[in-house]
Amino acid sequence: MPMQIDDCVITLDGHCAIEEAQPLFDLVRGIEAPIFDVAQAKSLHTAIVQLILASSGKVRGASANPLLSACFRDRELP
């Protein structure tokens, strides 16, 4: 599974396909203020990107993908 959870931090690793969207949604529902660590994510399905953007969470780690970095710019932790 390309995601792991530690307290409120959800780490996304490698290629996160559409099949990961529902398990991620289930995780996010149980966390008040999730932090998504995307530093090791190589690709994220658009459903996962939308889920992150629709949540109240913040994003940690610079993505190597410039498009993903632009999507998460307003959600980045300092």
Residue numbers of the domain that contains 43: 3-75
pLDDT digits (tens, 9 = 90+) for 14-46: 999 999 999 999 989 989 899 999 998 888 999
In this prediction, residue 69 carries a pLDDT of: 84
DSSP H stretches of helix in the chain: 21-29, 46-54, 66-72
Would you say residue 9 has pLDDT above 70? yes
Q: How far apart are CA 70 and CA 59, in angstroms?
A: 12
Q: What is the largest CA-CA distance in the chain?
A: 30
At 12 the three-state DSSP class reads strand
pTM (two decimals): 0.89
What per-residue confidence (pLDDT) applies to 48? 95
The number of folded domains in the chain is: 1
Distance of CA 30 to the CA centre of its chain: 15
The yes-or-no verdict on residue 1 having pLDDT over 70 is no
Q: What is the CATH number of the domain that holds 45?
A: 3.30.750.24
